Amino acid sequence: MPNLMCIHCFVSGKVQGVWFRAATRDEANKLGVTGWARNLPDGRVEVMACGEKEKVMQIQAWLNKGPELAKVMDLYAEEIPWHEYQGFKVM
């Protein structure tokens, strides 16, 4: 699967209570990216995103700014082995 990839991300800043996960799901659905997003107890949002390399890179760039009310201070993203997800879930 040379054109497919997954990234595991941690987004920090003002990213909880600002519709970050729902907006991430909407963006992922627009791009055809699968995976999930969840809040962490330390205030970060964790995101798993899988799909075509170009689309995953687009969602990574989007995560770096997030939705309008968010203030992203840092984005850590690493490529991980491919995993098949059904749709994009908010957890």
Active site amino acids: 21, 39
β-strand partners of 74: 12
Crossing angle of helices 53-63 and 20-31, in 10° steps, is: 160
Q: Residue 82: which of 56, 60, 62 has the closest Cα? A: 56
Phi then psi dihedrals of residue 39, to 5 deg: -75, 145
